[in-house]
A and B are shown apart, each in its own frame.
Chain A
Amino acid sequence: MKRLFLFLPLLACVILGVVFFLSIGREDKDVLPSPLIGQPFPTFNTDALESGAPLGREHLLGKPALVNVWATWCPTCKAEHEFLNILAEEGVTIYGINYKDDDEKARQWLFNYGNPYDLVLRDPDGKLGLDLGVYGAPETFLIDSQGIIRGKHVGDLNARVWEKLEAEYRALK
């Protein structure tokens, strides 16, 4: 009986091995859980990138939507842009936040690559980004028609990610 205790270290190693093995496929460790999920989208005062019209939180209400944080200096945003165009064509409502960017470059980008956004909010100094806990573009929030944040995806949106996110989006009210 006592000899069996000698196998304890081996058992411990095997358990650790299993734990480590299971965490290989885990989601990116750089992705932080957002404390904003379930919270109302923060209030803001800014204006539209294209028309210059003043915009506030009330402009994002009324229907479930994606809020996509992007910038022209962000290569991953370029990578996901085509997919956003596809989503927009499918009728998904997408609002954009042009994060710490140059207005002229941003307008040129939308002209060149197409504009999937129902509205683009200017956030030149990243103030709205800070309120949203943005730490790197692109980030995409899911909001419901009441403007409550229901989900968040860090990194680019693509068909694989959308497979998981779409159900969440369709379930929003």
Chain B
Amino acid sequence: MNQPLRVFALLLALLSWPALAVVNGHKYHFDDAEQIARFQALNESLRCPKCQNQDLADSNSPVAGDMRDKIYELMQQGKTDDDIENYMVARYGDFVRYKPPFRADTWLLWLGPVAALVIGLLVVAMIRRGRPAVAPLTPEEQARLQALRAGAGSKNEEPKA
């Protein structure tokens, strides 16, 4: 291949760059970079049911691969992110979402941290209330404090080098 042709091929390769997403060695072709971003975001927002601490993008279990393929397929059919998420939840349950819905059986999950914060603030308030108020110093005490400070200052003064 001669030089200009090689440069041209390189440019072509660069042009096709945003239309390709590679997940665990599998290539997915997209029309534009925005779709790739959507695909990535979906894969990161859904949890692998097999490797429970990994998202779909990260997991290399076979079922995660199947789910990624399905997400790609549904995207090509023009489905929205919500459609795709609901599709997976209908099959694998709420577990596949990192963000659980607010429901009767999940309220503790959502409100628990707020409740803990409120309890913590109440405890802090109670402790502060129990503490006796600090009375201002009398003139004699003020004078003594000044004297002490002056004494301590001269004693601790570092010899200047």
Contacts and interface: CB of A to CB of B under 8 A. Distances in A.
Contact of B91 (A35, A100, A125, A136): A35
A48 B62 CA distance: 23
A69 to B, nearest CB: 12
Given A130-B91, A131-B91, A135-B92, A32 B62 contact: no
Contact of B67 (A35, A130, A132): A130
Contact of B93 (A32, A125, A129): A32
Interface in A82-103: 100
Interface residues of A, number: 17
A36 B90 CA distance: 7
Interface in B73-95: 89-95
B62 A133 contact: no
Nearest to A130: B66
B89 to A, nearest CB: 7
B59 to A, nearest CB: 11
Interface of B: 49-50, 52, 62-63, 66-67, 70, 89-95
11 contacts: A33-B93, A35-B90, A35-B92, A126-B62, A126-B63, A130-B67, A130-B91, A133-B91, A134-B63, A135-B50, A135-B63
Interface of A: 30, 32-36, 100, 125-126, 129-136
Given A35-B90, A129-B63, A130-B70, 20 more contacts: A32-B49, A32-B92, A32-B95, A33-B93, A35-B92, A100-B62, A125-B66, A126-B66, A129-B66, A130-B63, A130-B66, A130-B67, A131-B91, A133-B49, A133-B91, A133-B92, A135-B49, A135-B92, A136-B50, A136-B63
